[in-house]
Amino acid sequence: MDIKTAQQQVLDRLITPALAQLPPQYRHTLIHIRTLIERCPRVGDLCRYLEQLSDRQGEPDGLSEALSAHKLPTLAALSAALNEAAGSARDERSTVRQLVVGQHYSAYVLAIIAGTYNIQPGIHLVKSGQTIEAILLKATLTDGKYANQWLVPGETLKYYFYGPDGVYSRDHAFNRAIIESGTRPILVFIKHAANDYELIGRFRYESDHEDPDGARWSTLTRLPFASGADPAGAVVTEELLEAELQQKLARSRITAPDQRAARLAIASPTPDRVVVQGIRYVRNADVISAVLERAAGHCERCHHPAPFRRPDGSPYLEVHHKIRLADNGPDTVANALALCPNCHRELHYGLAPATGA
Ligand SMILES: [Zn+2]
């Protein structure tokens, strides 16, 4: 069963008849439920939501009774039916591991990942059983009195604790989870607009502080993207991973040689691994072969013969797009050049203009 089918089934059996038949006081609740149903990315997310709605704690006041009174299926019956129909798809849930640094998420998706289906809190504790697996933290950067702000842009965040009614207790579950997070990742999402949160990265709690009026805040510092063995680590984009390497490289190059040598002496020879998400373009093989034919074994920039031959005897040249596909350049013979590897690298990394034949 796919998610569209599952959503339609629940909408048809629950929301549509209930909106038509139940008294108007249920309208707001039903529309809220419909929004969450429509936002569930995976079948398992929807199954879990219905389970929660149908247990007595999660159920909106009197909704089950109202459904029964109108001879509509109860939430519990719907939940059971969906679980049955979903089969193995009921195990497909949205998880922290699917989050990608640099991408934007709605408050709904974060609440669904957390399994709370409640978009209000600024902090979500993602639990596996009773254990907190990860903390999702939605930070709004504003100019207010208690303004979260970057102490070092993108790296160190000043983050105000949860402080209902001005009481910033270290014992509140949200605040304690941050303070005691240890090696558990705190995923920081910066709010850009209503319902638009960008995942900045994984952070570590450093310290907490108190303002003179009793407001409390913590400093959180960003962990490197490739910090290995963390099972709840988020996926990163290739661009961010590369940007981080360039940043570290710039720092390494101005490090005194003896300091660098000391770091190298204790460095792990085994590189960390990280799951990377990126976009690849499906290129037209006919464009590549037509351009190679046109070049006839010579670089179309420096006009030297290809530097070596492939195992099949053909001259080695690389087909380059004058306007990059990533910049919406067309994948056409006219937009492509066959280049020797030196010219190709120079166009991408050298001082020469990025385009031109
Ligand atoms: Zn060349």
Residue 276 alpha carbon to ligand 1 centre in Å: 31
Which residues lie closer than 8 Å to 96 by C-beta, 6 or more apart? Answer: 113, 126, 133, 134, 136, 185, 187, 232, 234
Within a domain: 148: yes
Residue 335 alpha carbon to ligand 1 centre in Å: 17
Let me know: does 217 contact 178? Beta carbons within 8 Å. no
Residue 191 alpha carbon to ligand 1 centre in Å: 46
Residue 291 alpha carbon to ligand 1 centre in Å: 15
The CATH number linked to 335 is 3.40.1800
CA of residue 336 relative to chain centroid, distance? 33
Same domain, 19 and 74: yes
Question: What's residue 56's pLDDT?
Answer: 62
Tell me if the pTM is above 0.75. Answer: no
Residue 329 alpha carbon to ligand 1 centre in Å: 21
- φ, ψ dihedrals at 6, nearest 5°: -60, -45
Within a domain: 271: no
Domain end call among 202, 217, 238? 238
- φ, ψ dihedrals at 197, nearest 5°: -120, 125
Question: What's residue 229's pLDDT?
Answer: 43
Question: What's residue 233's pLDDT?
Answer: 54
Asked if residue 225 has pLDDT above 80, the reply is no
Residue 253 alpha carbon to ligand 1 centre in Å: 30
Number of DSSP helices (H) and strands (E) in the chain, helices first: 12, 13
Please write the tens of the pLDDT for every residue from 236-286: 777 778 877 887 888 899 889 999 999 999 988 887 777 777 778 899 999
Domain end call among 91, 124, 151? 91
Within a domain: 357: no
Within a domain: 184: yes
Residue 241 alpha carbon to ligand 1 centre in Å: 29
Residue 328 alpha carbon to ligand 1 centre in Å: 25
Let me know: does 91 contact 45? Beta carbons within 8 Å. no
Question: What's residue 269's pLDDT?
Answer: 87
Residue 302 alpha carbon to ligand 1 centre in Å: 4
Which residues lie closer than 8 Å to 188 by C-beta, 6 or more apart? Answer: 137, 139, 157, 159, 199, 200, 201, 202, 203, 220, 222
Q: Among 177, 277, 178, which Cα is nearest to 234's?
A: 277
pLDDT, averaged across the chain: 88
CA distance 297 to 272: 40
Q: Domain of residue 232: give its range.
A: 96-238
- How many domains would you assign to the chain? 3
Q: What is the mean pLDDT of residues 32-58?
A: 89
Let me know: does 186 contact 220? Beta carbons within 8 Å. yes
Within a domain: 341: yes
Same domain, 217 and 318: no
Question: What's residue 257's pLDDT?
Answer: 93
Same domain, 56 and 125: no
Please write the tens of the pLDDT for every residue from 287-318: 999 999 999 999 999 999 999 999 999 999 99
DSSP state of 151: E
Residue 334 alpha carbon to ligand 1 centre in Å: 18
Same domain, 107 and 23: no
Within a domain: 203: yes
Which contacts qualify for 18-25: CB closer than 8 Å, 24 or more apart?
18/66, 18/67, 18/70, 18/72, 21/70, 21/72, 22/66, 22/67, 22/70, 23/66
Helices (H), the chain: 3-10, 16-21, 27-39, 43-54, 63-69, 75-86, 107-114, 173-179, 238-253, 257-266, 285-295, 341-349
Question: What's residue 59's pLDDT?
Answer: 63
Please write the tens of the pLDDT for every residue from 333-354: 999 999 999 999 999 888 865 5
Question: What's residue 231's pLDDT?
Answer: 46
Please write the tens of the pLDDT for every residue from 114-155: 999 999 999 999 988 888 888 999 999 976 778 899 999 888
Please write the tens of the pLDDT for every residue from 83-116: 999 999 999 999 887 888 888 999 999 999 999 9
